[in-house]
Amino acid sequence: MERSGTVDKAVRALEALREGGGSASLAELAARLRMPKATLHRLLASLAAHALVEQDGEGRYRLGVGLIRLGLGAQGLDPVARVAKPELERAARAFGETFFLVAARAGRLVVLDKAEGTGLLRAAPTVGAEVPVDVTASGRLYLAHAPELVGAPCASPAAQRAARRGYDVNEGEWIDGLTVIAAPVLARGSLHGCIACAAAAQSLRGDRHDAAVRHTRDAAERVARALQGDSRR
């Protein structure tokens, strides 16, 4: 597929602003992207016209509100995210920890939605973050049920074990100190995503761990039933 150089440059500029974690001057961005300032200035002006970037009082650039509009619009149109949203919120209220929807899109695993728990801890990652396949519970479930969706040739033994028990756990394998329990959303014979519960490792011990597994699997099953048109939620 033929690619547009201008679009590539625009995406690189937006990613640079995101990765910078705040604002950046034209000179800083140009140096980071190794792009002529005149070219970058024209590109940023076009992005600003659509509210995809904005400038503060000092002329520094940051991501604009238009990206929120586009992101929420895409999320609202995604059928799995739309169905999962109330179930994530229900599980977060009931259990008090953070619940995620993770799904494969364009060959990558990404966080499509997130419902924060009622506690003070706000668990990473953020919506839109890419999730590594090989060291996460959701990744192993994808390797078990749909390796082709994440560009893998086959399931590993660990992924096969996860499939047999119906969920998987990773304890600090990706993010230090964070335990994540994931369960697959299986509907009409296909994997549509994973529901994941994330919490500080010390808060998911013993009975609390078992309860997290139960809440996660229940949420995944409710989403699967909704996708199949089953009203028993």
Give the span between the Cα atoms of 203 and 25, in whole angstroms: 42
115/187 same-domain check: yes
Average pLDDT for runs of 10 along the chain of length 233: 70 82 85 90 88 83 74 65 92 94 88 82 74 92 91 79 92 88 94 94 90 97 88 51
Exposed (0-12), middle (13-18) or buried (19+): which is 59, by Cβ within 10 Å?
Answer: exposed
Distances (CA, A) of 111 to 99, 195, 199: 10, 10, 16
Q: Is there a single domain that holds both residue 137 and residue 198? A: yes
CA distances from 196 to 28, 63, 102 (A): 38, 28, 7
Domain that holds residue 168: 78-229
- 63 shares its domain with 124: no
Q: What is the C-alpha separation between 217 and 61, in angstroms, rounded? A: 43
The total number of structural domains in the chain stands at 2
Instruction: Give pTM, 2 decimals.
Output: 0.72
Q: Residue written as tokens 């520094």?
A: 60
Write down the pLDDT at residue 221. 96
Name the amino acid, one letter, at 60. Answer: R
Beta strands, E only, the chain:
53-55, 61-63, 98-105, 108-115, 130-131, 168-171, 178-187, 190-200
Instruction: Please indicate, yes or no, whether residues 36 and 94 belong to a single structural domain of this protein.
Output: no
Of 183, 180, 178, the residue nearest 162 (C-alpha):
183
Backbone angles phi, psi at 183, to 5 degrees: -130, 145
Please, is 9 exposed, middle or buried when counting C-beta atoms within 10 Å of its C-beta (0-12, 13-18, 19+)? middle
The predicted pLDDT at position 71 comes to 63
Interacting residues of 68 by C-beta distance below 8 A, sequence separation 6+: none
- Contact at 8 Å (CB) between 56 and 62? yes
Same domain, 64 and 84: no
- Structural domain ending residue among the three candidates 15, 36, 70: 70
- The last residue of a domain, from among 18, 49, 70: 70
Q: How far apart are CA 223 and CA 187, in angstroms?
A: 9
Q: For position 76, what pLDDT does the model report?
A: 57
Give the whole-angstrom CA distance, residue 106 versus residue 102.
13
Whether residues 99 and 205 fall in one domain: yes
Q: Residue 91 maps to which CATH number?
A: 3.30.450.40
Residues 167 and 211: their CA atoms lie apart, in Å, by 13
